Amino acid sequence: MSQLFSPISIGNQSLNNRIVIPPMCQYSAENGLANNWHLMHYGTLSNSGAGLMILEATAVCPVGRLSPFDLGLWGNEQQQSIATLISNIRQYSAIPIAIQLVHAGRKGSMPPSWKPKQYIPPQQGGWQTVAPSGIAYNENYNTPHALTKDEIRVIVKQFAQAAVRADLAGVDFIEIHAAHGYLIHQFLSPLTNKRTDEYGGSFANRIRFLLEIYQSIREQFSIKKDVGIRISATDWYEGGWNLDESIQLAEKLDALQCSYIHVSTGGLVENQQIQLGPNYQVPFAQAVKQRVTMPVITVGLITEAIQAEAIVSTKQADMVAVGRALAFDPHWVRQAAIKLGGKTSIPPQYLSSVPHGFKNLFID
Ligand SMILES: Cc1cc2nc3c(=O)[nH]c(=O)nc-3n(C[C@H](O)[C@H](O)[C@H](O)COP(=O)(O)O)c2cc1C
Q: Which of 20, 24, 107, 298 to mutate to test the pocket of ligand 1 (most atoms within 8 A of CB)?
A: 24
pLDDT digits (tens, 9 = 90+) for 25-70: 999 999 999 999 999 999 999 999 999 999 999 999 999 999 999 9
Q: Is the pLDDT of residue 364 over 90?
A: no
- Please indicate, yes or no, if residue 2 is contained in any of the structural domains: no
Residue nearest to atom 28 of ligand 1 (CA): 24
pLDDT digits (tens, 9 = 90+) for 216-232: 999 887 666 899 999 99
Residue 300: CB within 6 Å of ligand 1?
yes
pLDDT band at 149; cut points 50, 70, 90: very high
How large a percentage of the chain has pLDDT more than 90?
97
Residue nearest to atom 23 of ligand 1 (CA): 300
Average pLDDT over residues 251-268: 97
Question: Residue-wise over 303-323: b if at least 16 C-beta within 10 A, else e?
Answer: eebebbbbbbeeebbbbbbbb
Per DSSP, the three-state class of 241 is: coil
- Please indicate, yes or no, if residue 83 is contained in any of the structural domains: yes
Average pLDDT over residues 130-135: 98
Handedness of CA 180, 183, 184, 186 (dihedral sign): positive
Average pLDDT over residues 322-347: 96
- Ligand 1 mean position, distance from CA 24 (Å): 5
- Please indicate, yes or no, if residue 3 is contained in any of the structural domains: no
Q: Is the pLDDT of residue 292 over 80?
A: yes
- Ligand 1 mean position, distance from CA 22 (Å): 6
Here the CATH number for the domain that contains residue 159 is: 3.20.20.70
pLDDT at 227: 96
pLDDT digits (tens, 9 = 90+) for 191-208: 999 999 999 999 999 999
Q: Is the pLDDT of residue 24 over 90?
A: yes
Q: Hey, which bits of 92-239 come out as E strands?
A: 97-102, 130-131, 145-146, 173-178, 226-232
Residues annotated as catalytic (active site), given as ranges:
182
Whole-model pTM? 0.97
pLDDT at 225: 81
pLDDT at 188: 98
Residue 104, CA distances (Å) to 5, 58, 63, 112, 155 in order: 34, 10, 8, 13, 11
- Ligand 1 mean position, distance from CA 206 (Å): 25
Residue 58: CB within 6 Å of ligand 1?
no
- Ligand 1 mean position, distance from CA 181 (Å): 13
d(CA 324, CA 27): 15
Average pLDDT over residues 150-161: 97
Side-chain half-sphere CA neighbours of 120 within 13 A = 18
Rg (CA), the chain: 20
Residue 308: CB within 6 Å of ligand 1?
no
Average pLDDT over residues 245-266: 97
Range of the domain at 61: 8-361
pLDDT at 220: 82
- Please indicate, yes or no, if residue 208 is contained in any of the structural domains: yes
Average pLDDT over residues 310-324: 98
pLDDT at 42: 98
Q: Phi then psi for 146, rounded to 5 degrees?
A: -75, 125
Average pLDDT over residues 278-295: 98
Cβ atoms within 10 Å of 164's Cβ, excluding its own: 16
Average pLDDT, the chain: 96
Residue 263: CB within 6 Å of ligand 1?
no
- Please state the domain count of the chain: 1
